[in-house]
Amino acid sequence: MTPVLPHSPGDFFGASVVELGQRLRNGQLTSVALTHAALESIERLNPVINAFVHVNAEGALAQAVLADAALAAGQDAGPLHGIPVSIKDNIDTFDMPTTYGSAHFAEHQPLEDALCVRRLRDAGAVILGKTLTHEFAYGPTGDRSLQGASKNPWDTTRMTGGSSAGSAAAVASGMVPLALGTDTGGSIRIPTGLCGAVGFKPGFDVVPMQGIFPLSKTLDHVGPIANSAEDAALVFAAISAPSGLNPLGSQPFNAQPFKSEHAPRVAWIDVHAFGAADPVVTQTIYRFAETFFKQPLERLQGFDRVMPGLRKAMAAIQRAEAYEVHNERVADNPQLFDPEVLERLQMSAEVRGWEYIHAMKARDALMAHMAAVFEEVDLLLMPTLPLTAPALEQREVKLGGEAVSVREAVLSLTSAWNLTGLPAINIPAGQVNGLPVGLQVVAAKGRDVQLLDQLRELERQAWRHPPGDARLRGE
């Protein structure tokens, strides 16, 4: 049974971009109709969820008119042609304000698009609006921003997670079918895990970060948020290849199902090596993974030996690099920061040079360790988060009988894959007490396309008919 939001969802709730693209090309839909559907969904839901901080309705409709005219003239830019997409507010757009979620940039208007946005436009996407980010993307809760807090579509008293808070909430609630987010310690996978969407963090340096405000320059990634791995692959194909060229081969909206000669070798990582976890959440995700991958899960051992060094290295690198970006603002205008973000930046100033160098060496050792692991397996599986969405403003939670900070809990299972730069994705794995939980799938370095291909095939084997709005399906 398909889970149902507690309020009437947007028109793109669970919708398939592949299917929408087919209907655009056979004349049953237009880009203008899709854009109107998105704008109407945003008008109805955004006052409740606060996912969007700026909507360019006039500009989006103008883009949609051009997209329809191009298709009518036989000019097809690819599978994203005419599809509405939202952009996280730390990613520059020339035609909309980009505030980075901060009073420091409340009136900021970039002169040009980030390179990933330019590639989406080249691929025919309709760039619709900007979605809320935790201030400067420096927080995993999504409730510290110039524009307030995004709220979880499944329970608006709970947080979305962050920092790609608005992008995840916009897709999960059905306001748009696709969004871009960024991920430094889990900022795509955390909110998609808590809100029930697919969120893909590509490998490090696979998608260019040009035009995206940095948080931690050696940990930052940009990637797609969608309703399926198949749709995420469409966005990844556009933003990872110059001029929208598609590295996945034939256009996925008209592709035959991917077939692999062998089922992927998968292994399950015990979350307790990473920290405390809700056993019901973990068991729910484990059962989903066994069903989804159609095989028993080998349990991978040994992470308890590397985790202490991993946490220390991650903290030192992120803090040092974040403070390098913000030190002048901290010194000159501290009052413009959210107090919680300011406190974290002031703590970041304490990282010493030798600690940063030691952390980078530890990072190299961990990357070598992971390369050895992937000689034995193809994919690593684990929960994306060890809990369901905490309440808005909540800063401590009990897991396994111990009090844990919310920040520590939500980052505990995701940040390792930023430190190692490996491709990792969240896919919805059911619900616990009416709130989404997610399965995280991690692949070896350079295996981004293979990871998406394998999940696309597994989705096709298990997928139900998308529950998107009947008007968009022509019913």
Residues in CB range of 266: below 8 A, 6 or more apart:
289, 293, 295, 297, 298, 377, 378, 379, 380, 381
CA 474 distance to own-chain centroid:
29
Q: Which amino acid is at 180?
A: L
Residue type, 136: F
Distance CA 427, CA 435 (A): 14
| Whether residue 163 lies in the annotated active site | yes
Which two structure tokens, joined as six digits, stand for 25?
A: 């090309």
The CA–CA distances, whole Å, from 306 to 102, 186, 318, 417, 445 equal 36, 19, 18, 13, 19
Q: Give me the catalytic one of 41, 187, 240, 412.
A: 187
Q: What are phi and psi of 449, to 5 degrees?
A: -65, -40
- CB-based burial label for 76 (10 Å; 0-12, 13-18, 19+): middle
Residue 386 in contact with residue 272, Cβ under 8 Å? no
- Establish whether 41 is a catalytic residue: no
- Which of 41, 88, 228, 415 is flagged as catalytic? 88
Is 187 known to be catalytic?
yes
| Inter-residue contact 91 to 133 (CB < 8 Å) | no
User: Cβ neighbours of residue 465 under 8 Å, at least 6 residues apart?
Assistant: none
Retrieve residue 183's tokens. 């991920």
Which of the residues 163, 164, 173, 348 is marked catalytic? 163
Contacts 24+ apart (CB under 8 A), 374-377: 374/443, 374/444, 374/445, 376/265, 376/267, 377/265, 377/266, 377/267, 377/298, 377/300
Which residues sit opposite 441 in a β-bridge? 381, 425
Place of tokens 């390369």: 371
* Catalytic residue ranges: 88, 163, 187
